[in-house]
A and B are shown apart, each in its own frame.
Chain A
Amino acid sequence: MAIGDNIQWELQPIRLEDFEGPLDLLLYLIERSKIDIKDIPIAAITDQYMSYLYRAESFDVEEASSFIVVAAYLMQLKTKMMLPVPKQEEEGDPREELARSLEMYKRVRQVSLMFREREAAYGGTRGKAPEPLPSRIDFSNDDIKVKEFIAAYEAVIRRRQWRLEIESKPVPRVVKKERVPIKRVLNSIAGKLKAKGEFVFNQEFDPTAEDKSEVVAAFMAVLELSRMQQVKLKQNKLFGDINVHAVKDEIDLSGAGTGFGEET
């Protein structure tokens, strides 16, 4: 090797940012030394690689971590190469995996250069905006059915109005503690189910009521009943009505969880 070669690489400024990652750096070292990827002198390359890491000017932890992962891998490989392999356990060349990764990365880099060139050649094509013709809008092929569309619109308006009503009311100065015991709602729901067998949640308990504690308690109670397998819940679509069916004629409340049993 000519002396110049050595000096040249000794003096080259090292910036990890110049490399796209550890494999890029490795490929650079290998290509510079004109080594066959399938026959990498692991010890020598590891040393070169490590010296590049040590002398890196900036060390962005996130960026550097991927370089360190590969450094660790190289070290491990180096150790493997030094250890004698028992004859019966020969697994082939431990460098094969690394060679394959580098080969793959090399090809990706090749394709990326091709893409860069192609984008320079074709990326500048521009389409123009459509001519402004009357009645361009055509909903006929759309999946949204008009009825659903109108219903959704109305729901938005309703919610908006409801919010406006709430916001227009003065904020009460005193915040009342008004807890509705779940046990009580549980019992009243059990009574309802015994009488009717089923009911629609949103009709019995008004979610838009000013005081939410009853609705919340009722919802908890219904969930609890469902957990106890006393009722079946059915909701056909998102935000739709919830139907509560009794599974049996009698509602058995004995399995109610703690917190649901006693009145507070």
Chain B
Amino acid sequence: MSKILDDQITPAYGTDRVSSGKSMEQIKGIVEALLFTAGEPVSINRLADTIQADIAQIEDAGLQLQLDYSGDSRGLRVIRINNAFQMVTDSAMFDYICQLAEIEKRQQLSQAAYEVLSIVAYKQPVIRAVIEKIRGVGSDSSIAKLMERGLIYESGRLDIPGRPITYSTTDEFLRCMGYSSLADLPPFPDTEEDTGEQMSLSDEMFSDVQLEQPTELPKLD
């Protein structure tokens, strides 16, 4: 199929939208080359600046590349993480890569770590006390492990006594889970009676953990 015909049957990429004078096919090619060269994620803004194209054109080109690379015969993938594209190897090829590099597959995360990750993913930014309240058990080592893997990070501090650290998920988390953004996370499962903040264990159970209402400290005379 000739390129001209291609343009005619896909009006979304017709010449009228290409303000820079480059066709969608050209832009796709340039994006592909840039992603290959960069290796790291490249933001859509930066791609648009470099190519002198519109944001929408870059987004289209990236999406097209994602589709082009999605076939079984390809070992590379183009992924989108938040507002950046990245060219990566297909996850299914990881075993072969390990063999080539003669490295061990890295250890799987523990069940505890996955539980902590689940809570952070859906309740971020979240403090350790809430994580432990939901799991009913201390979670220090799991949090440390997830930090070490770069899946969560310390995103701030809560303005309550003690100023506890809050945790959020990273772009690395999105990459590992194959999500483009947090909006891609499926809804929290089976929320029939979940009306918001019902996730607390009994206060009697953990009476030492006071979260929502910072108590006034007694004044010293």
Are B111 and A112 in contact, with the CB atoms below 8 A?
Answer: yes
Interfacial residues of chain B within 149-187, with CB under 8 A of chain A in the complex: 175-178, 186
Stretch at the interface among A41-49, A125-133, A163-171, A191-199: A125-133
Q: State the CA gap A114–B187 with chains docked (Å).
A: 12
Q: Output the least CB separation between A28 and chain B (Å).
A: 13
Q: State the CA gap A116–B151 with chains docked (Å).
A: 13
Residue from A62, A73, A76, A119 in contact with B176 in the complex, judged by beta carbons closer than 8 Å: A119
Are B88 and A133 in contact, with the CB atoms below 8 A?
Answer: no
Does residue A118 face the partner (Cβ distance < 8 Å to B)? yes
Does residue A98 face the partner (Cβ distance < 8 Å to B)? yes
Number of interface residues, chain B, beta carbon within 8 A: 53
Stretch at the interface among A17-25, A82-90, A142-150, A214-222: A17-25
Are B135 and A115 in contact, with the CB atoms below 8 A?
Answer: no
Q: Output the least CB separation between B176 and chain A (Å).
A: 4
- Chain A residues near B134: list those with CB within 8 A: 101, 104-105, 108
6 tightest A-B contacts by CB?
A124-B94, A21-B137, A122-B178, A112-B114, A124-B91, A111-B118
Are A21 and B40 in contact, with the CB atoms below 8 A?
Answer: no
Does residue B55 face the partner (Cβ distance < 8 Å to A)? no
Q: State the CA gap A236–B86 with chains docked (Å).
A: 43
Are A107 and B198 in contact, with the CB atoms below 8 A?
Answer: no
Q: Output the least CB separation between A141 and chain B (Å).
A: 10
- Chain B residues near A62: list those with CB within 8 A: 138
Are A109 and B115 in contact, with the CB atoms below 8 A?
Answer: yes
Q: State the CA gap A73–B191 with chains docked (Å).
A: 25
Q: State the CA gap A88–B87 with chains docked (Å).
A: 66
Residue from B38, B178, B198 in contact with A118 in the complex, judged by beta carbons closer than 8 Å: B178
Q: Output the least CB separation between A246 and chain B (Å).
A: 33
Residue from B38, B86, B114 in contact with A115 in the complex, judged by beta carbons closer than 8 Å: B114
Residue from A21, A103, A118, A127 in contact with B135 in the complex, judged by beta carbons closer than 8 Å: A21
Residue from A73, A115, A121, A133 in contact with B37 in the complex, judged by beta carbons closer than 8 Å: A133
- Chain B residues near A105: list those with CB within 8 A: 134-136
Are A118 and B177 in contact, with the CB atoms below 8 A?
Answer: yes
Given contacts A21-B136, A115-B114, A124-B92, 15 further A-B contacts (CB under 8 A): A21-B112, A22-B136, A73-B202, A97-B202, A100-B198, A101-B205, A104-B134, A105-B135, A112-B111, A115-B121, A124-B91, A125-B91, A126-B89, A126-B94, A127-B87
Q: State the CA gap A63–B139 with chains docked (Å).
A: 10
Chain A, Cβ-Cβ closest to B177: A118
Q: Output the least CB separation between B140 and chain A (Å).
A: 10
Q: Enumerate 11 A-B pairs (CB-CB under 8 Å) in ascending A order.
A: A21-B135, A66-B136, A100-B199, A101-B136, A101-B201, A105-B136, A112-B114, A113-B114, A115-B121, A118-B176, A131-B36
- Chain B residues near A40: list those with CB within 8 A: none
Q: Output the least CB separation between A264 and chain B (Å).
A: 32
| Given contacts A66-B136, A98-B202, A130-B38, A116 and B114 within 8 Å (CB-CB) | yes
Q: Output the least CB separation between B108 and chain A (Å).
A: 8
Are B189 and A107 in contact, with the CB atoms below 8 A?
Answer: yes
Interfacial residues of chain B within 1-59, with CB under 8 A of chain A in the complex: 36-41
1/0 per residue B58-90: CB within 8 Å of A?
000000000000000000010100000011111
